[in-house]
Amino acid sequence: QVQLVESGGGLVQAGSSLTLSCAASGRTVSSDSMAWFRQAPGKEREFVASSRWSATSGIYFTDSIDSVKGRFTISRDNAKNTVYLQMNSLKPEDTAVYYCAAQSKYSGSVRDQRRYDSWGQGTQVTVSS
């Protein structure tokens, strides 16, 4: 099983930017579906963004929820075995613990957290108004 460690969270003002990192160890995740989820206080954990490798197409497909489209970008550095979440124009409603997850074999869904077999410990992002 791969180990995932998130970093980069913090306390920022609305309108600021942060970049979260998810460093993987134990094996390469270049072919995994990787995703970011978040959990706000009192709410269930929700899907934020994903990057899925398609062997058929030879490219990574990305997906994200509507509320972060145009503001958040998921990317990967396979040489570093690391996935990033660039977050721009942050809003107070983005406040949450952000989790990185890996799905070693694509199951047909990137948004269903039950399909992911490895999780990081989470990193707190707090956006003040």
Q: What are the pLDDT digits (tens) for 99-119? A: 999 999 988 899 999 999 999
Q: How confident is the model at residue 1 (pLDDT cuts 50, 70, 90)?
A: confident
Instruction: Kindly tell me if the per-residue pLDDT of 4 is higher than 90.
Output: yes
**Structural tokens at position 13:** 């003002």
Could you tell me if residue 43 is left (phi over 0), alpha (psi between -120 and 50 degrees) or otherwise beta?
A: beta
Cβ contact 122:8 at 8 Å:
no
The answer to whether 61 touches 78, Cβ cutoff 8 Å, is no
The pLDDT score that the predictor gives to residue 108 is 87
71 has pLDDT over 90? yes
Using alpha carbons, select from 129, 109, 120 the residue that is nearest to residue 37.
120
**Matching residue, tokens 């077999």:** 117
Q: What is the average per-residue pLDDT within 34-48?
A: 97
pLDDT of residue 46: 98
Mean pLDDT of 65-83: 98
